[in-house]
């Protein structure tokens, strides 16, 4: 966990605007922040969205556009179990 967090910090310090830690519980490292002012735009806790602070794809605090294509409202994502069927070879 510590190594992934350090890798994320290095990426951010070297100009990667949206770097995430994955496969570990790190609400700060899983969330999306405005690269201009640091406001949390999309809060994530594992697979659950905890915050949605985008207005037409922009930061509500400073108006900077966030890279990506966003709906006006968040989807209904979250931890969902899905049945998987693996065919025999």
Domain that holds residue 29: 2-52
CA 61 to chain centre: 18
Task: Identify the pLDDT of residue 34.
Answer: 93
Q: Is residue 39 part of a domain?
A: yes
Q: Is residue 62 part of a domain?
A: no
Q: How many structural domains is the chain composed of?
A: 1
pTM over 0.85: no
Q: Is residue 32 part of a domain?
A: yes
DSSP 8-class letter at 5: H
pLDDT band at 10 (very low <50, low <70, confident <90, very high): very high
Asked if residue 57 lies in contact with residue 65, where contact means CB atoms within 8 angstroms, the answer is yes
Average pLDDT over residues 23-42: 87
Average pLDDT over residues 7-28: 85
Question: What is the b/e burial string over 9-48, where b = at least 16 CB atoms within 10 angstroms of the residue's CB?
Answer: eeeeeeeeeeeebeeeebeebbbbbbbeeeebbbbbeeee
Q: Is residue 43 part of a domain?
A: yes
19 pLDDT exceeds 90?
Answer: no
Task: Identify the pLDDT of residue 77.
Answer: 67
Question: d(Cα 30, Cα 45) in Å, to the nearest integer?
Answer: 7
63 pLDDT exceeds 90?
Answer: yes
């Amino acid at each position: 966990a510590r190594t992934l967090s350090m890798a994320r910090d290095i990426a951010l310090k070297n100009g990667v605007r949206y770097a995430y830690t994955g496969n570990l519980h790190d609400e700060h490292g899983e969330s999306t922040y405005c690269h201009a002012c640091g406001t949390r735009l999309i809060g994530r806790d594992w697979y659950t969205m905890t915050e949605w602070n985008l207005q037409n794809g922009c930061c509500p605090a400073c108006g900077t556009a966030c890279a990506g294509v966003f709906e006006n409202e968040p989807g209904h994502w979250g931890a969902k179990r899905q049945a998987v069927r693996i065919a025999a070879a």
